[in-house]
Amino acid sequence: MICSHAGEVAAYLDGELPAPAENSFEIHLSECAECSEKLNVQKRLLCALNFAFEDEKSFKLPANFAKSIAVRAESDVSGLRSKDERRRALLIAAGLFSVGAAVGIAGKQSGVIAFVVEKLFAQIWVVVAVFATFCYDFIVGINVVLRMLGRGFWVESPLTTFLLTVLLVVAFVILSRLLFKFHRVEHSG
């Protein structure tokens, strides 16, 4: 037989019954053995729960956790919150676009700006070319090393070279991921 008041036990213990209900429940408690028994059980569990979570306020967190969250939240691009901010961003973008367009038109007409732009592009092209050469040399270098290493125990074929290159790329990706993870753990620990 389950007493219909049994459900009140937890709320009574937690001090969550309104005053009139609390008074009538106390009268009921003095008459109902089942509810008294449940009250004792729930009281002991309440003590156990309070004990289990008493250290919650000193929960261990990484150093500077709040700061890093605040910085990330504030630099989150989706967080342009106010209309003012959005309007300002639009204005800046529109301003830059009109300056670009004006330079383009002026350059077409005068030829002087076209000359400057041409020079600038030539410079950028040199940098890109140097970088591309570097990448090419790097890959060739790795290829040579792989061939030297592989000669001992691989039958040299385009397939083995390809497989080794894939292996190298995979190893490179895994290594960089590990390094990133290590950095993250170190930072948060």
Partner 1 sequence: MTVKTIAISNLHKIADRELIASSLAGREDGFEELVRRYQRPITAYVYRMTNDYDAALDVTQEIFIKVYNSLARYKTEYKFSTWLYKIARNAAIDHLRRNNHGDVSLEIETGDDETFERPLESNAPTPEQERERSEWRAEIQSVVQKLPAAYRDLILLRHSQDLSYDEIAEITSLPLGTVKNRLFRAREIMRDLLVERGITGV
CA distance 11 to 22: 9
Q: CA of 9: how far to CAs of 17, 33, 53, 133, 171, in Å?
A: 9, 13, 21, 79, 61
Q: If we measure between CA atoms, which residue out of 15, 49, 2, 47 comes closest to residue 25?
A: 15
60 binds partner 1 (CB under 8 A): yes
81 binds partner 1 (CB under 8 A): yes
56 binds partner 1 (CB under 8 A): yes
39 binds partner 1 (CB under 8 A): no
CA distance 23 to 12: 10
Q: Which of 34, 36, 44, 97 binds partner 1 (CB under 8 A)?
A: 44
Q: Which is nearer to partner 1, 1 or 60 (CB)?
A: 60
In the stretch 13-32, what mask flags binding to partner 1 with x, by CB under 8 A? -x-x----------------
Of the candidate spans 2-10, 92-100, 155-163, 169-177, the one that interacts with partner 1 by CB under 8 A turns out to be: 2-10
